[in-house]
Structure 1
Amino acid sequence: MFRRTFWFTSGVAAGVWATTKVNRKLKQLTPESLAVTAANKAIDAGGRLRDRAVDFALEVRDNMARREAELGDALGLSTPVDRELPSPRGYAVIENRNSTKYVEGPGHRPTYTTHPYNRNEDH
């Protein structure tokens, strides 16, 4: 009697365990789950690739600076260069002759309270 109960209980437990294992594997093989897994692996691979690219870029920059210093020493260009930005460019004013703010006349320069060509102006 105990032997039969033991084996029956063991069989039920093995059946529940196997059914649970099979259901988990089936859920992993659904299209949605496969898409999520593929996306996660692609994100991981992209991160690793980005890290390698950053390492490569840093190595190239270091080698470039070292080679530039070697060339500067070889050519006698070791004096520091003042790398100042150039002054900003001036822009030409576009006169809008159709504007009510524009007045023509001899010796009269047009005066504007706003920019003469304002695209956001109500028409």
Structure 2
Amino acid sequence: MFRRTFWFSTGVAAGVWATTKVNRKLRQLTPESLAATAANKALQTGQRLKDRAVGFALDVRDNMAQREAELEDALGIHENPELPAPRRYAAIEADRSDSGTPKHIETLFSSQAKHSYNRNEDH
């Protein structure tokens, strides 16, 4: 009698355990759960890449400063020289008319006003 009760209880426990495992796995395989898992993994990967990139940038900056110090020592430069003022170049020499518009632009538009360039016009 006790032997049958033991095996019956063991079977019931195994059935409950298997049903719970299967239901848990089915919940993990739903589209919503898969999407949430993928989003979490993507966020974690992005954070890891960001951390590595920041670490790499800091290493590069430190090594750059160290190399600049070595070069300054080798060249005998110990203070920052005064930099010359930046040069300014005019893209177009603008002789402005009374209206404030550059003359070459006024000339361009005034010549268009004198001549018709309508392609649909009969000649």
Q: Larger helix proportion, structure 1 or 2?
A: 2
- Alignment-mate amino acid for residue 51 of structure 1: D
Corresponding position of 2:48: 48
1:37 aligns with 2:21: no
Deviation for aligned residue 1:73: 2.4
Corresponding position of 1:74: 74
Cα distance in 2, alignment partners of residues 80 and 54 from structure 1: 28
1:64 aligns with 2:55: no
How many residues get paired? 83
1:6 aligns with 2:15: no
Deviation for aligned residue 1:30: 0.9
Change (3 A) 1:72 1:20: same
Q: TM-score, normalised by structure 2?
A: 0.59
Change (3 A) 1:82 1:37: farther
Q: What secondary structure is seen at the aligned counterpart in 2 of 1:10? A: helix
Cα distance in 2, alignment partners of residues 37 and 82 from structure 1: 56
More displaced 10-residue stretch of structure 1: 12-21 or 65-74 = 65-74
Q: RMSD in angstroms over aligned alpha carbons?
A: 1.9
**Percent same amino acid at aligned positions?**
76
Deviation for aligned residue 1:61: 0.3
Deviation for aligned residue 1:80: 4.2
Q: TM-score, normalised by structure 1?
A: 0.59
Residues 53-98 of structure 1 deviation map (CA, whole Å, 9 limit, x = unaligned): 1111011001111121222223332124689xxxxxxxxxxxxxxx
| Aligned 1:14-33 pairs, distance under 5 A | 14-33=14-33
Which gives a bigger RCO, structure 1 or 2 (Cα 8 Å, sep 6+)?
A: 1
Change (3 A) 1:22 1:82: farther
